Amino acid sequence: MIELAALYEREFPRFSRVAAAITGDLESARDVVQDAFANLVRHRRDHRSDASLTGWAWRAVVNTARSHLRAERSSLQALENAAGRDRLDALASPALGDADRAVELIRQLPERQRTIVFLRYYADLDYASIGEALSIRVGTVSAALNAAHATIRSGLQS
């Protein structure tokens, strides 16, 4: 429990940055991190002693952020259905700069690639830590990151 509290205090800014990158909102991200850690405290007996506490926490933060995003998307879908998609499209800005275009391209990546990009560049995790946080192999992390880079490069060149 003490280790979990220390991890929370030490890494809260990094956890928040990644959660914000996933959810698109810093306030929501802070709530996500707090919810994830509250859940970790409730289920602390489920943590295997041979597993990394940091990896377990990253997995909880990423999964909580994804759940939050799914709930937000569901709400947005209901709004779109009620308001009509064409009215919402009219609110979108037609001209995007390169930085805005890159952000938009990242948002359009498949969920796994987007999450790996966030963990690599927002949390500055190495490939092994990302693999541990997402329960995937290092080679999968590398391949997904490479595919994300290619998609973003291609989108910026067109």
What confidence tier does 103 reach under pLDDT thresholds 50, 70, 90?
confident
In the predicted model, what is the mean pLDDT of residues 70-85?
Answer: 53
pTM for the complete prediction? Answer: 0.60
Name which residue leads in pLDDT, 134 or 101.
134
Contacts 24+ apart (CB under 8 A), 119-126: 119/18, 119/58, 119/62, 120/145, 122/14, 122/17, 122/18, 122/20, 122/21, 123/14, 123/15, 123/17, 123/18, 123/58, 124/14, 125/58
Q: Which domains does the chain have, with CATH numbers?
A: 1-92 (1.10.1740.10), 95-158 (1.10.10.10)
What confidence tier does 24 reach under pLDDT thresholds 50, 70, 90?
confident
